[in-house]
Structure 1
């Protein structure tokens, strides 16, 4: 029997039981992909991060699994994993994670905040199927675009109150299209402290709705930055749990995501 140090961390929030809960497993010996998927299914969270710790390593391998499949990049699970490592070793202020795409994810501690360096992705115009809009309960969209790296369809709508009130039919949503990993719906915020809002639905590859999604901001930040003429913006994800983050476009290829996280559970998983 093997014991794996395991955590549940609420990301992109300053309160427990809000934001997006992620599993974090600290792995000291390699385990199979099948075992990692089984653990993600057992925890039942939108993503679980597997952090492979070895002595003397400069770059720490990290992998992400939803209950359905491996995900190459996940913002909230990266934040959760960094929170655990920073709390376990108060002397460190910087972490280098490396994912399966060989992306070097530099993470810095800034007081109570954690700042993550992520790549910037673009979008291209893409028509949204009418059946998808019906399943989401959306009558009208302002724009539709697609990000190839994440295989996510972006829909911009005019009213963030409509966004907050969406109640998708997830079975119809899954049947409406089969070539994407998820659909992100976004709108300008009417809140004074935020620039834009979003919700992310991904029944094709994860749970029905991801409460707060750092990974979508790899293209969402550029999307809104171009429209608003801003490089630093505040994002609010208006899911039931809610969550928030600050994003900043550093150059053409690199951005930062700044947020907080709360560790709510620590234990040992026995396999």
Structure 2
């Protein structure tokens, strides 16, 4: 029987954060077996660790209950803590190599190069229809983009916190739009303060209504802010996610104005 560890990431409280499964030795498991394990665990992602010839490196794959994904931030944080090592590790993921600095309780991930491109008018209309949002409920300072930091996400900014809080969306409609653009979640944000955002991430592509913390989307959002001119110097952001689900999560995001990689930091605790 495969041993699956369970951690919650981007929190120090087991009642908060986003749960992830971690298989520290996935040697011998094929794709179907990994997917079946992830489906049985039922979390938004389970990470499967495989050996690498470099002793400070690992191969890592990520499965949601329905599909394999190229990268997952919260499961990476959970894996780094579960490995119980201190120092800099490299996770070789389907999205590319990700540097992970860990002290055994927290982890800082450095993304692959980020990218961000505008959403077409037609796709924005489809996204808003699926979410039940109006155009005038969007924050005009933040244009709709497809953004990536290892996995692709739809970035939309709400004008009010109430709009973000009232999330009731067309699961199939949003899933189909995201899938058509090889995206995983809709990263819905509200700017609470200058460097503080609230976020929610529907994840219908993986068969999950909502993520409580989405490190991959936080990395993509950091790159989005740089691309859209909101980062003119080095900037540290705090993203609060999961509050509306009753699983508060905190993600610290560091963005450099002169680089295309973003860092996200979070803690993890065993469940």
TM interval, short-chain normalised:
0.7 to 0.9
Question: Which residue, out of 85, 88, 108, partners 2:101?
Answer: 108
Structure 1 outlier segments of 4+, above 6 Å: none
Say which SS state the counterpart of residue 32 (structure 2) adopts: helix
Partners of 1:122 and 1:147 within 8 A in 2: yes
Q: 1:177 to 1:80 in 2, by over 3 A?
A: closer
The reply on whether 1:243 has 2:237 as its aligned counterpart is no
Please give the residue correspondences for 1:12-91 in structure 2 after superposition, counting only pairs within 5 Å: 12-27=10-25, 29-53=27-51, 57-86=55-84, 89=85
Normalized per residue, the structure richer in helix is 2
Partners of 1:234 and 1:246 within 8 A in 2: yes
Say which SS state the counterpart of residue 162 (structure 2) adopts: helix
Q: Deviations over 1:209-266 (max 9, x none)?
A: 11110001222013335325452111111441231111112451322111111111xx
The reply on whether 1:125 has 2:118 as its aligned counterpart is yes
Alpha-carbon separation, structure 2, partners of 1:95 and 1:246: 19
Question: Which residue, out of 190, 202, 206, partners 1:187?
Answer: 190
TM-score by length of 1: 0.84
Gaps spanning 5+ residues in structure 1: where?
A: 265-271
Partners of 1:30 and 1:52 within 8 A in 2: no
Q: Deviations over 1:51-107 (max 9, x none)?
A: 114686332110000111110110000000001012xx5xx3332211123x22221
Paired position in structure 1 for 2:145: 145
Question: Which residue, out of 88, 91, 104, partners 1:94?
Answer: 88
- Tell me the matched-pair count: 255
Q: 1:28 to 1:120 in 2, by over 3 A?
A: closer
RMSD: 2.4
Q: 1:72 to 1:177 in 2, by over 3 A?
A: closer
Q: Deviations over 1:93-135 (max 9, x none)?
A: 332211123x222212247432121124121111334343133
Q: Deviations over 1:165-214 (max 9, x none)?
A: 22223244346665133322112115x8x522211112123412111100
Paired position in structure 2 for 1:254: 261
Partners of 1:212 and 1:239 within 8 A in 2: no
- Which structure has more relative contact order (CA 8 Å, sep 6+)? It is 1
Gaps spanning 5+ residues in structure 2: where?
A: none
TM-score by length of 2: 0.84
Alpha-carbon separation, structure 2, partners of 1:16 and 1:96: 26
